[in-house]
Amino acid sequence: MEIVKPLAQYLAALALAPLLPGVINRVKAFFAGRRGQPVLQLYYDLYKLSRKTPVYSRTATWVFRAGPAASLAALLAALLVLPFAGRSAPFSFDGDFVLLIYLLGLARFATVLAALDTGSAFEGMGASREMQFAVFAEPAFFLGLTALARAGGHASLAGMFGALTPGIWRVAAPVLALLTASFFIVLLAENSRVPADDPNTHLELTMIHEVMVLDHSGPDLACILYGAALKLWLFASLIACVVLPRRTGSWATDSALFLLAVLGTAAAVGVVESVMARLRLLKVPYMLITAFAFSALALIFQMSR
């Protein structure tokens, strides 16, 4: 049973991740006074795309074809170390969050190289911005996780989230609040949401992630969309683990509460997207530096506690 549970949690994450973009879209539709697309839209899209025949550019090489699959594989591997409801992941060891960060890096590496392989000016532009924002987002994310390691006294994700109790929220609320804010900003930037990027604009000079995947089609595009959903799930569940440290002890209740928190995070993304405008591209680094400052403050508070 102890082997089955982490595996079941992993499969549940894989199955539920495409729900999050649907939730975000419904929240945005609610704010706009529309009915919006079905919550399960991404599932339909993935099914449709998987049956289509892809079109490849004459410029592109094997790098373009391998990119989406490699990126998806890296994200699937990253989910292997991700705790579910604060409980152990299938892979859990000291320093596993470093592996998580570098697997996200591998996914980015593959996506960006595939974008550059098309020789398109627009995709090059998106690739350049993606790498630029990563330079600011990665230290912020890393420092936040370091602060969490310090707060819990453990160097593994499962350890640090397991050590988070409601008691810690009571005595170290500023630390955890700052961390939540920092992770949320990183989530917005890493998942190309407003205010860092706008997933709704198409064919504009201002896009980042969407413009990098303009040339992908068929199963490759399905890989990318699914990978994006997994990445959103990954960050949302980290936030859910921080804000919801209560453990009832019952596997089912904990999991249900955790799922609610993940969906709530997605809804929060939808709210932010509805009430905020996109930042100018030049301002995005400042937003990420703010996230870095939040992480650093959290670490300083924690170290002096």
Taking CB under 8 A as the binding criterion, the range among 148-156, 236-244, 252-260, 266-274 that sits at the site for another protein is 148-156
The yes or no reply on residue 264 touching another protein (CB under 8 A) is no
Query: Between the CA of residue 152 and those of 44, 66, 147, 148, what are the distances in Å?
Result: 41, 39, 9, 6
The yes or no reply on residue 153 touching another protein (CB under 8 A) is yes
Q: Are 239 and 80 in contact (CB under 8 A)?
A: no
The yes or no reply on residue 304 touching another protein (CB under 8 A) is no
Q: Which residues in 44-63 contact another protein (CB under 8 A)?
A: 50-51, 53-63
Is 36 or 124 the residue whose CB approaches another protein more closely? 124
The yes or no reply on residue 74 touching another protein (CB under 8 A) is yes
CA distance linking residue 231 with residue 261, whole number of Å: 16
In a 13 Å sphere around the CA of 94, the CA atoms on its Cβ side amount to: 4
Query: Using CB under 8 A, which of 7, 12, 32, 303 touches another protein?
Result: 303
Q: Which residues in 164-223 contact another protein (CB under 8 A)?
A: 203, 214-215, 218-220, 222-223
The yes or no reply on residue 101 touching another protein (CB under 8 A) is yes
Q: Which residues in 266-285 contact another protein (CB under 8 A)?
A: 285
Least separation, in Å, of the C-beta of 57 and another protein? 4
Binding-residue total with another protein (CB under 8 A): 76
Tell me how long the chain is.
305
- Ramachandran class of 88: left when φ > 0, alpha when ψ lies in -120 to 50, beta otherwise: beta
Least separation, in Å, of the C-beta of 23 and another protein? 25
- Ramachandran class of 33: left when φ > 0, alpha when ψ lies in -120 to 50, beta otherwise: left
Q: Encoding tokens for residue 112? A: 């960006």
The yes or no reply on residue 135 touching another protein (CB under 8 A) is yes
Q: Encoding tokens for residue 119? A: 């020789």
The yes or no reply on residue 32 touching another protein (CB under 8 A) is no
> How buried is 177 (Cβ within 10 angstroms: 0-12 exposed, 13-18 middle, 19+ buried)?
middle
Is 153 or 249 the residue whose CB approaches another protein more closely? 153
